[in-house]
Structure 1
Amino acid sequence: MAVARFKDLCVDVNCLSAMTEFWGQALGLTAPADNPSVLVGDTPEKTVWINQVAEPRTVKQRVHLDVHTGAIADLERLGATVQRPITDEQHWAVLEDPEGGELCGFVRDGVPAYRLMELVVDSADPEAQARWWAGVVGGDLGHDDANPWYWLENVPGLPFPYWVFVPVPEPKTVKNRIHWDVTAADLDPVLAAGATLLRPKDDEIGWHVCADPEGNEFCVFLPPTPIQE
C-alpha cells in the first residue's frame, strides 16, 4: 500500500525571472502576479516551484522533464537549444534550457494546454527504482522488453502520464536540480520503506528533506501539527 502521494515539482535555477518565464511557457503554466517563484495550473498537483540557487549546473542532470510541443522551433524560440534533433531512430529532440539543463521535446499535432508529458530519472537500477517508488506512491509498473527503461503510470495524484526510470552508467554526484515533493500522513513509513532523512523539518523549513535509495532528493510534507492549548 502506498505511504505517500505526489504533491508537486521543484526546479532549481540561477535566474528566477528568465527561468520562470521559460518553464511557464514550455509547460503551459502561469506565475501568479504576487508570487513569481511558482507556476500553477488548473490543479494543485500541476504546481512547479522555481527555486533560485547560487550554484550553477555543472553536470548532466539526473532528472529532466519531457514536454509536448507543436514544433521544436517553438522551444528554441523560448530559449532552448537543440543538442540532438529528431531522427528516424529517435522520435524526440534532446534540448538544453537557457541554463543548460536537459529536457526532451515531443512534437504533437495537437498540443495539450498542460504540456508536461513525463518525469525522467537517471538510474543505476531502473527496475529497482521504479518498484521502490511504486511502493511509496502507488501506480502500475510498466516495461517493454525491447527497451531498458521502466516506468510508472496511473500514480495517484500524478498530473502527467508517466514517471520514467532510465539506465545510465554514471553515478549521482551532485544535488539534483529538479526534485519532487510528496505528502504523507507520517514520516516513519517513508523511512521504513528505505528513504534516508537528509534534513528534518525545523524552524527554517516546514518539510522533511529525504533521499530515495539512489540518493534522489525529495521533500515530505506532513499534516499540520495541532496547536496545543
Structure 2
Amino acid sequence: MALVTFKNLCLDANDVSSMSGFWSRALRLPVEPLEGGEAVLRGDVEARSVWINLVPEAREVKNRVHLDLVAESLDEFAGLDQLTEPGEFAWETYTDPEGNLFCVFTGSERDPGLKDVVVDSVDPRSIASWWADVLGGSIGHPEGYSHVDDIPGAPVESFDFVPVLEPKTVKNRLHWDVTLLPGATVDDLISRGATVLALPGDGHAWTVMSDPEGNEFCVFEPR
C-alpha cells in the first residue's frame, strides 16, 4: 500500500539566479523569487513546481539523480557542454550552468519540458520496487534498468533506476518531496526501510529522510 504522494522537485544551486533562469527556460516554468535568495519555478499545480535551494557546497561528483527533458529542438541548448556525440544515443546529454547532468529527447509527442527522473542505483530492481511500494505506480524491469510508471500525481512519464557500480558518497543535488497519505506516518516509512536524517525544526516543518540506497527525500504532513 502506498504511503506518500509526489509533491515536487528540489534542486540545489550556488547561483540561484543563474540556475532558476536556465531551468525556467528548459522546463517552461515561470520563476518566482523567494525570501532568503531562493526561488521556485512555479507549476500550474504544486507537483509541477521545482524549488531552487541555495546551498554553499559546489557540485563535486557525477549526479546520481538527473532529469530527462523533452525539447522541440536542441538549438536552445547550444553553447552548453555536451557530453554525448550527436546521434550516439536516442538522447543528448548536457550539463547546466553548475555542471549538473541532464538529458534531452527530441521528436517526442510529449510537450516540451520535464520527461523523467533518472536515479543511479546499485540495485535498480530493488530500489525501483521500494519506490513503487511507497509511491504507487506500475513497475517494469526491461533489460538493463528498472522503472516506475504511472506514479499518482507525478508530472513525469517515469522514475528510471539505472545500474552503476559506485555507491552514493555525497548528498544528491536533486531530490523530490513527498506528502504522507492520510493515516500514514514517518514511522511507516521507517518500517519500510527509510532512514530519518533530520526531524522538523529550525524553521522547517518537514522530515528529511533517505531511501535504502541513501537518496534524500523530504516528507510533509498532509494539509
Q: TM-score range by the shorter chain?
A: over 0.9
Counterpart CA distance in 2 for 1:201 and 1:158 is: 24
Q: Verify: 1:118 aligned to 2:111, yes or no.
A: no
Residues 85 and 92 of structure 1 are in contact (CA less than 8 Å); yes or no, is this contact kept in structure 2?
Answer: no
Residues 81 and 98 of structure 1 are in contact (CA less than 8 Å); yes or no, is this contact kept in structure 2?
Answer: no
SS at match of 2:202: coil
Structure 2 partner of 1:141: 139
Residues 153 and 161 of structure 1 are in contact (CA less than 8 Å); yes or no, is this contact kept in structure 2?
Answer: yes
> Cα deviation per residue 1:2-58 (whole Å; 9 max; x = unaligned)?
011110000001100010000111011111366760001211100100001111001
Correspondence list, 1:1-229, <5 A:
1-32=1-32, 37-76=39-78, 80-87=80-87, 90-108=89-107, 112-113=111-112, 115-144=113-142, 147-184=143-180, 185=182, 186-223=185-222
Question: Quick one: structure 1 residues 197 and 33, their matched pair in 2 at CA, closer, same or farther if it must change by over 3 Å?
Answer: closer
Residues 69 and 75 of structure 1 are in contact (CA less than 8 Å); yes or no, is this contact kept in structure 2?
Answer: no
Partner amino acid, structure 1, of 2:218: C
TM-score when normalising by structure 1: 0.90
Using the TM superposition, give the Cα deviation of residue 81 of structure 1 relative to its aligned residue in structure 2, in angstroms. 1.8
Question: Quick one: structure 1 residues 60 and 33, their matched pair in 2 at CA, closer, same or farther if it must change by over 3 Å?
Answer: closer
SS at match of 2:189: helix
Counterpart CA distance in 1 for 2:2 and 2:169 is: 29
Question: Quick one: structure 1 residues 202 and 68, their matched pair in 2 at CA, closer, same or farther if it must change by over 3 Å?
Answer: same
In the alignment, structure 2 segments of 5+ residues that lack a partner are none
SS at match of 1:86: coil
Counterpart CA distance in 2 for 1:5 and 1:34 is: 25
CA RMSD of aligned residues (A): 1.6
> Cα deviation per residue 1:138-160 (whole Å; 9 max; x = unaligned)?
0000122xx31110111111111
> Runs in 1 of length 4+ with deviation above 4 angstroms?
33-36
Residues 70 and 110 of structure 1 are in contact (CA less than 8 Å); yes or no, is this contact kept in structure 2?
Answer: no
TM-score when normalising by structure 2: 0.93
- Aligned residue pairs total 218
Q: Percent identity?
A: 44
Using the TM superposition, give the Cα deviation of residue 70 of structure 1 relative to its aligned residue in structure 2, in angstroms. 1.7
Counterpart CA distance in 1 for 2:191 and 2:78 is: 44
Counterpart CA distance in 1 for 2:33 and 2:190 is: 38
Counterpart CA distance in 1 for 2:208 and 2:159 is: 20
Partner amino acid, structure 2, of 1:153: D
Counterpart CA distance in 2 for 1:4 and 1:26 is: 28
